[in-house]
Amino acid sequence: MTTEESLAAPEGETKRRRAVLVDFGGVLTTSVFAGFRAFGADIGVDPGLPIRLFAADPVVRAALAAFECGRRTDEEFERILAAALTRQGAVVEPEGLLAHLRSAIEPDPQMIELIAGIKAAGHPVALVSNSLGRDCYDDIDIAALTDVQVVSAEVGIRKPTRAIYELACRRLDIEPQEAVMIDDLSQNLDGARRAGIEGILHRSASNTAEELAVRFGVFPLLPPTSPTTDTAWRRRSGTRAWLR
């Protein structure tokens, strides 16, 4: 089947894609929302408060949008968030608040290994991520895991704006219709769809692996790397749960 025929495959058939765009928080890591709730509990407030502030407090919401686009520094956003939390009864200091906020969010080794295998199989891979601070990617070797990195604070655009997905495709030298986006937020997939990119709503590595294979004909190379070139993202023991 030619590329043109595969891209135009009827609904229900495999729509083959050759490139993958992948989110960071909540996809290559454990749940961001669970991490934010753990942070709320740790500072002695309603665990749902941080999420409500991000979603509904006009000051925090505007500051978050500017922060993700690189128009506010980490320190400026920490001061705004600390003030909002303090008004709600929390006892927090601005310094180090972002690190504390992210502290319960950890790399997801199964999902990272899946993406490593996809890249090893020859599929172009781009990180498309809304940044949560300058150190938020430190636990994973993103440069080795992906071909290009499109980070909101670096490019001045954030998801779900369609331009950020289009930029990722240009950097991969592909057409949007050749890509699939993996994200844990439906609104971000809506933005990708406006750019012509179909998406997978991520819930687990096993479900995402199945959708990549069944819907889009994207399979990882197994194993992604040899034991002698083991890197930070590789699990050193156990089975690949996303193969089950």
E strand intervals along 97-224: 125-129, 148-151, 179-183, 198-201
Asked whether residue 237 carries a pLDDT value surpassing 60, the answer given is no
Name which of 63, 29, 20, 22 is nearest 137 in CA terms: 29
Q: Hunting for tokens 């089950």 — which residue is that? A: 244
pLDDT tens per residue across span 46-96: 999 999 999 999 999 999 999 999 999 999 999 999 999 999 999 999 999
**pLDDT given at position 170:** 98
DSSP 22: E
Residue 223, pLDDT > 50, answer yes
Q: What mean pLDDT do residues 146-169 have?
A: 98
Helix (H) or strand (E) holding 19, with range, is strand 19-22
The SS3 call for residue 149 is strand
Query: Tell me, what's the pLDDT at 11?
Result: 54
pLDDT of residue 231: 42
Q: Residues of the chain with pLDDT > 70: what percent?
A: 86
Q: How far apart are CA 162 and CA 148, in angstroms?
A: 17
Mean of per-residue pLDDT scores for the chain: 89
**Are 145 and 119 spatial neighbours (Cβ–Cβ below 8 Å)?**
yes
Contacts (Cβ under 8 Å, ≥6 apart) of 62: none
Nearest to 185 by CA among 68, 22, 71: 22
* pTM of the entire predicted model: 0.87
Q: Give, in degrees to the nearest 5, the angle at Cα 208 between 176 and 125.
A: 40
pLDDT at 206 over 90: yes
pLDDT of 236 over the 70 cut: no
Q: Give mean pLDDT, residues 178-184.
A: 98
Q: Residue 48 has what pLDDT? A: 98
Query: Would you place residue 14 in the very low, low, confident or very high pLDDT band (cuts 50, 70, 90)?
Result: confident
Per residue in 136-157, pLDDT tens? 999 999 999 999 999 999 999 9
Long-range Cβ pairs for the range 166-171 (8 Å, 24+): 166/195, 168/21, 168/126, 168/128, 169/19, 169/21, 169/126, 169/195, 169/197, 171/126
User: What are the pLDDT digits (tens) for 20-57?
Assistant: 999 999 999 999 999 999 999 999 999 999 999 999 99
Instruction: Give the residues across from 182 on adjacent strands.
Output: 22, 200
CA–CA distances in Å: residue 224 to residues 16, 22, 93, 176: 21, 17, 43, 25
Q: DSSP for 196-217?
A: T-EEEE-S-HHHHHHHHHHHH-
And the tokens for 23?
């989110």
pLDDT one-digit tens code per residue, 208-218 = 999 999 999 99
